[in-house]
Structure 1
Amino acid sequence: MGETDRTAGTSGGHEEVEPPRGDGTLLRGAFLISSVGDWIYRFVAPFLILELTGSAVLVALAVAVELIPYILFGLVAGVVADMYDRRRIMIVCDLVSAVLATAIAVVAAGDDPSVGLVFALALVLAGVRPFYFPAFQGVLVTAVPQARRSRVNAWTQSVDSLLSMLGPVVGAAFVAALGVRSASVVNAVTFVLSALMIRMLTLPATTLAVRRTGGRLRQAGRDFAEGFRTLWSIPAVAWGTLLIAAANLAGYMVESNIVYFVIEVENHPAWTIGVVVGIQGAGALAGAALSPRVLDRYPPGQVLTVAMAISAAGMLVPALHPSTVFLSVGWCVEGAATSLVVVSWFTLRQNLVPNEQIGRIVSVGRALAYSTIPVGSAIGGALIGSHPTSRLLFVTALLVQLGVCLATYLSPLRTAPSKPPENTEPQAVP
């Protein structure tokens, strides 16, 4: 796999620099190992809290703690990723995560582990990971040429889909089999291995120079404001950021209420949920595998537009007949559409956003996308509780997604260029 660097000049142009080959494999390997580590630590703290307290409330709180940092630190993390050497940020994140995972193992091995200390360590560990993702996106843009980014994005989406499908089962079984202490030590080892692979990356010296001269912490506020201006000054990126958040609102109306629907409404046994999730995961893997071939033939903006329509088609199936079987079929289609949306959106954003600002743009988009998830979950919960057949839930989600489809079709996304215009500054959105 070839690698390139995109550095923006004063006129907004991009210069391609070819670093040594082979770094794409290292980057993907580090992402895989670090992602596995993420899934292990998601279960270590809840299992340990359950072991220490036996409280369902505290276990649920341990799970929620892992999501809080994405809201608190998400936007700041993007500024940091644009100010400093992104490869070094990834290494530091992995090594700090390894130290914290080891600390959890040490605390768990004590005679009387402190519940408060476990919560504190889990919160800090979760707070490290939001800094990793925008830095990873920046390194990806640097290390992978534009022509191959869709393939790397598809690969990372496949890893995410596979881990989302198998992670809850395998991760929980892994921690249960080894015990919290041993699992936490293994968790630390995964982060160390990821850091070593990132350390072996060879990136262009020009990229590191841009990171060193990007500013200091006192400039963070100005850099953050600049990132917001850049986001809204590129119409396709601005529209895409908002529409992805709206699509999450529609999707999580159903996604967050699948357990309730299958068990309480359809009266199926709990194992049926695993079947539904597995079918959805299979669709997501198929969509991720198909994405590079489609993006080789069509611009990412057009693929994104069609994928939003496919997502609506998936939501239409359970709206026509609310049942577990129809939900499984529809959510298989929805899973494939989600992968197409993610891969085409990441590829388009990477192609249009200047390298030195990609961290901020990624973090803003992620923060907005996360912000609509609890809203959609709450709306879906209210709807499914108010209608005996749950048809209202599926119809409402479908209507929201149809609105997203129409807005996507009418937006600049459908006609967005595959790369930034040469020697031009982005124009402000009217």
Structure 2
Amino acid sequence: MPTEPLTKNHPVANSADLRLRTAFLVSSIGDWIYRLAIPVLVLKITGSATSTALAYAIEFIPYIAIGLVAGVIADRFDRRRVMILCDLTSAVLALAVTALALLDEPPLAAIYLCAFLLACVRPFYFPAFQGFLVDVVPEQRLARVNSWTQTVDSALGFIGPVAGIAFVAALGVSLSALVNALSFGASALLIAAIAHTRPRAAEPTTANSIAKDFAGGLRTLWTMKAVMWGTVLMALSNLAAWTIEGSLFFLILEVEDMPKVVLGLVFGAQGLGAVVGGVLAPRLTDRYRLGVLLAFGMGLSGATMVLPVLVPTWWAVLIAWGVEGIATSVVIVSWFTARQKVVPSEVIGRVVSVSRAAAYATIPLGAVLGGWLVSGTSPTRTLFLCAAAVQAVVFLGAALSPVVRIDSGSGSGADSDPGADSGPGHTPQDAVGTAEAG
């Protein structure tokens, strides 16, 4: 049960806000370092493109396999301590990678194990972070904090690959992993400095109680129709986006026969657009209802996908993907903020975990669908037309379902269900004011 919400300008709230955001920044930078250092180490050992790609892709698996139940831990235990434990675990694993990198012949199985275990930490960290954010950040500042985290994520996605590879190349894998460990340690210290405690769960933690909590979270998600619809629509939106994104390499380099720099420009435009969208999002949430912004963002995303259908050239793809980045950030900030406001704090970890697992589950489906579409005739038109059609369904779903009313009393509330978990959480605002892309 969260402590009493702090006022907007309360010095303790401002201090917690600053430390939490700084910890998020430091920890996210650490994620990028290990995400790139481990594949570089695997490439050095094996010289295999397939082995290197596996080391990079392994991070997505735990979000689907572990993510469904990780939210129970975030709801049942002190979220601050869960985040500290996650950071300390990541630091220890990064130190293990440092030690492995110093060996003359590092065992490949041990490196993959470290990569997998590091990836397993994030599904626990994310719902704990989302719940802790609701616990310590005043409701009126949620949109701005969500915008800040989305901007950081987008900026790191924009400059992370280039800066990260340069960092690893300059320092070497072992020293980079050591810096990685220090970054996680610094994040743990920052979170530990935030004064906040949460009562323990009344019921002892057993396999049965975890299963019961998980079932309660699913019931809450089912009864909150706006959140349930939003979760489904975010997953479908991910399907549309990854139908394109998974095939951009083939589309630009093979179909369009463009140099690699053009591919970099397309992904760079998306990253830059996401940063712009993250900056614009809090201004939009101040002026418009969150449900309306969600529908608008979904509609804008679908509209941008039509441009390469009409003009199937690489520059049309570049423009479309840049605007897509803006739309995605607006959707993410609006969705996260709305969900934090309407889902009771006691179950938000479970709801976040299920939403994130559903979103990640559609990524491989979208990539496979895109690979099939791009191998036919008129691949650019076919690929973007299919994605635009899926996104049009998502837009209609957002505009016609309870999602558009998610921040009003009638659109966000749960249907009556005595079995669902309940709690004070954040009360939805009557006045109006968020894909699971992440």
Same fold (TM over 0.5): yes
Distance 1:250 1:214, change over 3 A: farther
2-structure distance, mates of 1:95, 1:121: 14
Shift of 1:198: 0.3
Q: Deviations over 1:78-116 (max 9, x none)?
A: 111011000000000001100110011111112321111
CA-based RMSD = 1.8
Q: Deviations over 1:25-60 (max 9, x none)?
A: 000000000000000000121111111121222112
2:169 is matched with 176
User: Does residue 374 in structure 1 map to residue 368 in structure 2?
Assistant: no
Deviation above 6 Å: which 4+ runs of structure 1? Answer: 419-422
Question: 2:337 is matched with which residue: 337, 347, 354?
Answer: 347
Q: Is the 8 A contact 1:83 1:214 kept in 2?
A: no
Q: Is the 8 A contact 2:403 2:411 kept in 1?
A: no
Q: Is the 8 A contact 1:259 1:273 kept in 2?
A: yes
Shift of 1:224: 0.2
2:242 is matched with 252
Q: TM-score, with normalisation over the residues of structure 1?
A: 0.92
Shift of 1:388: 3.6
Amino acid at match of 1:217: T
1:279 is matched with 269
Shift of 1:312: 1.1
User: Does residue 188 in structure 1 map to residue 178 in structure 2?
Assistant: no
Deviates most, 183-192 or 121-130: 121-130
Q: Deviations over 1:263-298 (max 9, x none)?
A: 001111111111111111111111111111111122
2-structure distance, mates of 1:251, 1:338: 10
Distance 1:425 1:120, change over 3 A: closer
Within a 5 Å distance, the mapping from 1:3-402 to structure 2 comes to 6=2, 16=5, 20-21=12-13, 22-203=15-196, 205=197, 208-209=198-199, 211-213=200-202, 215-218=204-207, 219-402=209-392
Shift of 1:416: 2.2
Amino acid at match of 1:112: E
Shift of 1:362: 0.3
Amino acid at match of 2:251: F
Amino acid at match of 2:92: V
Amino acid at match of 1:288: G
Q: Is the 8 A contact 1:49 1:58 kept in 2?
A: yes
Q: Is the 8 A contact 1:85 1:212 kept in 2?
A: no
2-structure distance, mates of 1:176, 1:215: 48
Q: Deviations over 1:311-360 (max 9, x none)?
A: 11111111211111001111111110000100000001000100010100
2-structure distance, mates of 1:387, 1:214: 60
Q: Is the 8 A contact 2:298 2:394 kept in 1?
A: yes
Shift of 1:259: 1.2
Amino acid at match of 1:137: Q
1-structure distance, mates of 2:374, 2:123: 32
Structure 2 unaligned residues grouped into runs of 5+: 418-438
Q: TM-score, with normalisation over the residues of structure 2?
A: 0.91
Shift of 1:367: 0.2
2:424 is matched with none
SS of match in other structure, 2:406: coil
> Percent of counterpart pairs with the same letter?
49
Distance 1:299 1:16, change over 3 A: same
How many equivalent pairs are there? Answer: 412
Amino acid at match of 1:255: E
Q: Is the 8 A contact 1:352 1:418 kept in 2?
A: no
